[in-house]
Structure 1
Amino acid sequence: MAEATPHVGSRVRYWRLRRNLGRKQFADMVGRSTSWLDKVEKGERELTRLPLLERVADALGVDPAALTDSIQAARTAQCVDAAEVQAIRSALGRYPGLSARDSGRVGVVGIQRQAAYLDQAWLSSHFAVVARHLPQLMDDAQRAVLVTTAAEQVAAYRVLVTTYRLASSMLLKFEANDVAWLAADRAMHTALRIDDTWSLARATRSVARAMTSTGQRDEAIATSLDMADRMHDETNRNEQELLSLYGMLYLSASITAAGQDDARLARDMHDEAMAAALRLQPHHRTHQTFFGLTNVLIHRVSALVRLHEAGRALEFAATIDPATVAALSAERQANYLLDLTEANTQAGRYREAVRLLGRAELVAPEEVRCRPLAHGLLRSLLHNTTGEPARMVKRMADRAGVTA
């Protein structure tokens, strides 16, 4: 039997839970009782009056069509939205140490578990999940570093750095660059407070990416290389924990150099990363970097795309074993497929570009349906395809809410 189409009340409940709003809290926000809300969410009472529907939608931070129109509801639910970006911004604007009310103990094991869960959601390109839970984790991690024992201090600070990094990385995906820079800067200052090389290396990657997004490419490269120099000797003594992070600093510098059309520096940085990867096992992966030979190779493709060398990018990609790419996270695979889509578009190979973009959507739907980068590719392909490829692009664009 076909599943019934969700009613307005079920969508109200979905968004209430996604906004982390309790029943009474939300009922108070719209000036109604919890019994009224229960009936609405169960479909026993309809939201037929437009003023009330608009009040409910406004309290949830969504367009009324996200509650009443099935197509718009599906599009809205799959992506991080402005209210969630604002919630992350608000979390960055809170300072628990200023308030005596925030002195309660927060368990380090609990926030480590939640950080691991959100890291996995990120690697799976489930960005709406990250956005829903990240502000609370940020609050908890900020409080944890205030009250932690000496034995747990490094662990607590590492979680806080991780939360700031997640915030910065996700905001960069959705081109909220100024807020992403703030989150990355918080990560760096937090890492400097604990003087932990692991934390500093992770924070530096975030700062470098945020600098790149705001046009500070020279500074981004210098920051990455300064950190690589700083950790070089310690990395030799502690390869298991630090070598993957060391290599990722060079990959970050390589991509940034490519973005400023410095092909030689991009190649040099790639070679440094490759040297680090060759010191590891082929499928080595730690600390959510998925660092290793395959990740270094697909970053080279990304650099060549940014250098507008589409032909070389596609030739290089043809040498990479697809099975090793399939072993990477969904987030890494999807970004590689987006790079290949861009390379084929640059080369005028639109049919292949459409095929690869379709594969990216299968691997990680949110990467294609929600990201501005992918939306740009969709618009380009809408203008440059005919026949069946054009129909395929149109279907993808419809799912993403993109028009030509």
Structure 2
Amino acid sequence: MGQAREFTLGQRIRFYREQCGLSQKAMAELVGRGENWAYKVEHDQLPIDRISVLIKLAQVLHAEDLKDLSGGYVHGSVTGPNTEHPHVPEIRQALSLPSSLLPKNVGVVSADDFAASVTDAWTVYETQTKKRYVDVGRRLPGLLRAGHAALRDANGSDVESSTLRQLISLYGLFQIWLRRVREPTLARIAADRGLALADRASDPALLAAASWNLSCVLTSAGDVKDSVELARQTIASCRPGDDADAEHLSAYGALHLQAAVAAVRANQKTVAWDLYREAERISGRIGLDRNDWHACFGPTNVAMHGVHLAAEEGDATEALRLTDNVEMPESLALEVLPLERRTRYLIEVMNCNRIQRDDYATVYMLKKITAQSPEEVVFSPLVREAVTDLMKREKPTWRDDVRAVAQHIGMAA
């Protein structure tokens, strides 16, 4: 294995799979994917863009360290202790408490104050380019206690309903923050609690939004079939009527997009594209981009998901062709299309160019992503893999640009 860095990720996965005596189908089933997915991964037609999937593969293939599969751009013991975000222990403690104990020793909290605090935390997460994980992580435990105190102190059904909506929104922030810092179990707890509250509220828009949160968690964890089933059952139960408001339509449409992503990863291509076409129809009914429940939905995000689905199928050429349908006007505020969503899309485009071995385009996208999201780019496995590949075949015209990105993400030679 002394020459491991000369092999692609797919080649390393195939090597370890054959050493274990597993078929592609058996390996795929052990990580909750289909045989076609395994084939495309081993032939470098599909990226491993989530640490959780790489960890599952390493465990299944008996690799001792993530660097054995990644070639060094991601490393860490598969079975040993993990370095967790400094705010995770306090968050874990808060999520471990029964809801009835959370407001203990918390004074009176008004619904308006709680709503303002949740809104501000979301704004930081969706728009702040630096230290947002530290800032938001520090706030989350206190917000959870305040939210349940506000629900306890709610006076009147309208106030209780408003507080309940904000608490569900807060659990949504918990799940996305926890997924990004690689805490899938805690993210699942937060999403489950949000869905339970939404079910209690008997509001179809809330139910769609909370199901979107849980579907995101399941998809990220590789439980894609469960994610599709959850989304499709919720879609059937909260279908909007002709007089539905934009918030209901937006949450309903976002759930279709999330279900489409899960379906294509579950090798249910026809289902995925059917869900996508329905999302297109709903988007046309709304007519503009929205970010209700922080599950952004509208023409721009629908077009972005078309690129994503093609890329997930392993068709980088078609994915890049579909980028011509994506317009991201400067007037589209971060509150409508959050920084994280924009960055994930650009990383997708960058990776498609990398697969096509268009080095100039890949370097251009890396520079753009780093300038736009200097914090987010550090944690992206796809960015690290692209930089690793480019540094093996540096060219004078773009060598300094790649080295600058490598230095920024801590990979400089």
**Which interval holds the TM-score relative to the shorter structure?**
0.7 to 0.9
Matched residue, 2:137 = 131
Q: Considering fraction of residues, name the structure with more helix.
A: 1
Which of 283, 292, 296 is the aligned partner of 1:290?
296
Q: Deviations over 1:69-93 (max 9, x none)?
A: xxxxxxxxxxx96212333222212
Please show how residues 309-324 of structure 1 align to structure 2 within 5 Å. 309-323=315-329
Matched residue, 2:366 = 357
Q: Distance in 2 between matches of 1:325 and 1:354?
A: 26
TM-superposed CA distance for 1:329, in Å, is 3.0
Q: Distance in 1 between matches of 2:362 and 2:134?
A: 27
Q: Distance in 1 between matches of 2:367 and 2:299?
A: 26
Q: Distance in 2 between matches of 1:228 and 1:136?
A: 33
Q: Which amino acid aligns with 2:87?
A: E
TM-superposed CA distance for 1:357, in Å, is 2.0
Matched residue, 1:94 = 97
Q: Distance in 1 between matches of 2:224 and 2:147?
A: 31
Q: Do the aligned partners of 2:218 and 2:226 also contact (CA within 8 Å) in 1?
A: yes
In the superposition, relative to structure 1, how do residues 279 and 347 fare at CA in structure 2: closer, same or farther (>3 Å)? same
Give the percent of matched residue pairs that are identical in Structure 1 and Structure 2. Answer: 24
Which of 213, 228, 233 is the aligned partner of 2:235?
228
Matched residue, 2:118 = 115
Please show how residues 74-223 of structure 1 align to structure 2 within 5 Å. 82-95=85-98, 97-98=100-101, 101-102=104-105, 104-124=107-127, 126-149=132-155, 150-223=157-230
Q: Distance in 1 between matches of 2:154 and 2:354?
A: 52
Which of 259, 262, 268 is the aligned partner of 1:262?
268
In the superposition, relative to structure 1, how do residues 259 and 96 fare at CA in structure 2: closer, same or farther (>3 Å)? closer
Q: Which amino acid aligns with 1:119?
A: W
In the superposition, relative to structure 1, how do residues 286 and 185 fare at CA in structure 2: closer, same or farther (>3 Å)? closer
Matched residue, 1:66 = none
- Look at both structures and tell me which one has the larger radius of gyration over its CA atoms: 1
Q: Which amino acid aligns with 1:232?
A: R
Q: Do the aligned partners of 2:257 and 2:302 also contact (CA within 8 Å) in 1?
A: yes
Q: Do the aligned partners of 2:114 and 2:146 also contact (CA within 8 Å) in 1?
A: yes
Q: Distance in 2 between matches of 1:100 and 1:315?
A: 52
TM-superposed CA distance for 1:287, in Å, is 3.6
Q: Distance in 2 between matches of 1:89 and 1:380?
A: 37
Greater RCO (Cα-Cα under 8 Å, separation 6 or more): 2
Q: Which amino acid aligns with 1:213?
A: S
Q: Distance in 1 between matches of 2:92 and 2:102?
A: 19
TM-superposed CA distance for 1:399, in Å, is 1.6
Query: TM-score under structure 2 normalisation?
Result: 0.72
In the superposition, relative to structure 1, how do residues 255 and 384 fare at CA in structure 2: closer, same or farther (>3 Å)? farther
In the superposition, relative to structure 1, how do residues 139 and 202 fare at CA in structure 2: closer, same or farther (>3 Å)? same
Q: Which amino acid aligns with 2:189?
A: L
TM-superposed CA distance for 1:252, in Å, is 0.1
Matched residue, 1:347 = 356
Query: TM-score under structure 1 normalisation?
Result: 0.73
Q: Which amino acid aligns with 2:171?
A: Y
TM-superposed CA distance for 1:208, in Å, is 0.6
Q: Distance in 1 between matches of 2:320 and 2:102?
A: 55
In the superposition, relative to structure 1, how do residues 137 and 382 fare at CA in structure 2: closer, same or farther (>3 Å)? farther
Give unmatched runs, 5+ long, in structure 1.
Answer: 1-79
In the alignment, structure 1 residue 238 sits paired with structure 2 residue 244? yes
Q: Distance in 1 between matches of 2:103 and 2:357?
A: 61
In the superposition, relative to structure 1, how do residues 119 and 217 fare at CA in structure 2: closer, same or farther (>3 Å)? same
Q: Deviations over 1:323-357 (max 9, x none)?
A: 37965332222111011011111211222112112
Comparing 203-212 and 120-129, the one that deviates more: 120-129
TM-superposed CA distance for 1:284, in Å, is 4.5
Q: Do the aligned partners of 2:94 and 2:141 also contact (CA within 8 Å) in 1?
A: yes
Give unmatched runs, 5+ long, in structure 2.
Answer: 1-82
Matched residue, 1:9 = none
Q: Distance in 1 between matches of 2:331 and 2:391?
A: 28
Q: Deviations over 1:205-228 (max 9, x none)?
A: 111111112221111011111111
In the superposition, relative to structure 1, how do residues 209 and 100 fare at CA in structure 2: closer, same or farther (>3 Å)? closer
Secondary structure of the corresponding residue to residue 215 of structure 1? coil
